[in-house]
Structure 1
Amino acid sequence: MTEEPPMPSRRTFLSTALATGAAVTLPAAAAATPGRPRRRVPKQSISIQLYTLRDIMGDDPEPVLSALADIGYRKVELAGTYGRSATEFAAVLRRTGLRATSSHAGIDGDLDRLIADARTLGNKYVVVPWVNYATLAEWRAFTTRLEAAGDKLRRAGLGLGYHNHAHEFAAVEGTRPFDVITAGTTRRNVHLEVDLYWAVTGGVDPVALYRANFPRVRQFHVKDRAADGSFADLGTGTIDFASIFRATDVTEYIVENDQPRDALVTARVGYDYLVNLRF
């Protein structure tokens, strides 16, 4: 009786998908233009938000992380640890050759546990990913908590950041919540992780936002926007990243797509776009 061939492993499946992604043509916007400056995004500054890959992580994130390392990523930003403790997930990261330099986490829980986990994971930054309030008083109260948490994390050797969406740029009782946050916190304790897609969606010029808050913007979520307002892989949408990067300077460029059609293709296209972009 002939034995059936073994079923392909999950890692084999992901490797095949990765190879398929590698065949995607790099967007023309990433090519160098004769006569233009030749600045580039340093490879060591490129990261990816693992929220982009949440639907393929399953109960075993290691093959996905290995696929990211094969693409060229050396850094990731976490959005949870997929049912594992910080110690367990840190071991997975070490095996795949990745560093979680940043994590998304809230500040209204146990800050001592947050700090301990961040240290275990090797984080440099912890970033509040999302809040939304109906009143200005609530935004001000949150800002007070944010500044206090930032002070505590700084004393523990960590940086605390805030990640925007579009709603922070819409006035609440005549004032933008984003302005409440920046006025009510200090650059010593709270930096900004500017999500470029959401800034543009909120009607804000990212370069003007950067300049108005210099030097507090340390991280970018590099996320493209299609003409219809939906999410797009890097270089396939309408955001002029070259112009933004030419006028700014941050420590991390974090690839993200909230609704990718194929998460590994998104990761591949995003990494290749940033590596090949000249500005």
Structure 2
Amino acid sequence: MPGTQQPYVAECNLTPVASPFERRQFLKLGATVLSAGMLPNFASFASATSSPQVGLQLYTLRDWMAASVPATLKMVSAVGYSEVEFAGYFDHSASEIRAILNGEGLRSPSAHFALDKMISDTSAILDAAQEVGHQYIVIPYLSKEQRGTHIDDYKKLAQQLNEIGEACKKAGIQLAYHNHDFEFERRQDQLPFDVLLDETEPGLVCMELDLYWTVKAGQDPMTYFNLHPGRFKLWHVKDMDANGEFADVGTGNINFEAIFAQAEKAGVEHFYVERDRTDNKLQTIQQGFLGVSQLLG
């Protein structure tokens, strides 16, 4: 299978290029944290909170990934994560990514790929996904143009997703769709997210439910678990502060305990810590690992 370099996929239209300061900051931190003297601290932390199911969406560390994919994945593994979800390969081939993952004892059940690329480069992306070992390919975001202006635009999207999902299924991969809050904005008295759930085939398209964006939109994830049991195979776990902004998992006000109690009904298989913007990446991924580990008991 060819080692196809895949384009970076950005959520929320954030620029995925590390600034010179960010690169210097990461490389300095990496040289310190990944030294032999610091690794035992991470190992002790991971041992005390270990859960084989905790994953990290690497979009959280996109600036570090831009600086060094191997160093970033080494740090992620040292914190204790066993799974990662990619949002771009950052100039590495699929075979190189697989080798780095193997070297760090990591696996990558899923990855984000932009809708337009999934339409134009389906075969190449599926080849790369098989090479890395992804079981899911996730459509992460819709541009304003892709969202359109009418509910019928989402009905057309649902059919597109069914078609892409069929191609994925033939390759032994499951297609998933990741939500933000705009899928819950009413159009012609319908919610786009409901249309996507109702008009995609469960066997072809599942959902990666972003818990933050769902709650941000005023929706109850558990209502969707009851309406569509088994459809939510992947979760993004990020918290919300009192002002409705991002917070590290376990430090905000989202009732994760109640949500996680319904995990079996939801059908979730992979839990990914994520925070779209953070001033302290290392603290965010440590707190996220701790918070989700505790929720999984």
TM range (shorter): 0.7 to 0.9
**Alignment match, 1:118:** 129
- Aligned CA RMSD, in angstroms, stands at 2.3
CA distance in 2, matches of 1:97, 1:137: 45
Equivalent residues in 2 for 1:43-62 (5 A)? Answer: 43-62=51-70
**Alignment match, 2:101:** 93
Deviation of 1:74 after TM superposition, in Å, equals 1.1
Do the aligned partners of 2:260 and 2:295 also contact (CA within 8 Å) in 1? no
Deviation of 1:59 after TM superposition, in Å, equals 3.4
1:151 and 2:166 aligned: yes
Amino acid in the other structure paired with 1:117? A
Please give the per-residue CA displacement for 1:72-111, whole angstroms capped at 9, x wherever unaligned. 1111000000111212222222222211110011322211
Report how many aligned residue pairs link the two structures: 254
Equivalent residues in 2 for 1:184-223 (5 A)? Answer: 184-223=199-238
Please give the per-residue CA displacement for 1:133-164, whole angstroms capped at 9, x wherever unaligned. 32222212111110111111112100110111
Amino acid in the other structure paired with 2:83? K
Structure whose residues are more often helix by fraction: 2
Equivalent residues in 2 for 1:1-279 (5 A)? Answer: 11-15=30-34, 43-106=51-114, 107-131=118-142, 132-249=147-264, 250-277=268-295
Deviation of 1:14 after TM superposition, in Å, equals 4.1
Three-state SS of the structure 2 residue aligned to 1:217 is coil
Please give the per-residue CA displacement for 1:23-61, whole angstroms capped at 9, x wherever unaligned. 9xx9xxxxxxxxxxxxxx982221110000012223321
Deviation of 1:11 after TM superposition, in Å, equals 3.1
Three-state SS of the structure 2 residue aligned to 1:253 is strand
Deviation of 1:15 after TM superposition, in Å, equals 3.6
Do the aligned partners of 1:14 and 1:63 also contact (CA within 8 Å) in 2? no
Deviation of 1:247 after TM superposition, in Å, equals 2.0
CA distance in 1, matches of 2:68, 2:263: 37
Please give the per-residue CA displacement for 1:157-211, whole angstroms capped at 9, x wherever unaligned. 0011011111101112221111111111111000111000000011110111112
Three-state SS of the structure 1 residue aligned to 2:52 is helix
Q: Rg: which structure is higher?
A: 1
* Unaligned runs of at least 5 residues, structure 2: 1-26
Three-state SS of the structure 1 residue aligned to 2:109 is strand
CA distance in 1, matches of 2:172, 2:193: 25
Three-state SS of the structure 2 residue aligned to 1:244 is helix
Amino acid in the other structure paired with 1:269? Q
CA distance in 2, matches of 1:152, 1:278: 33
* Unaligned runs of at least 5 residues, structure 1: 1-7, 27-40
TM-score by length of 1: 0.85
TM-score by length of 2: 0.80
Q: Which has the higher contact order (CA 8 A, sep 6+)?
A: 1
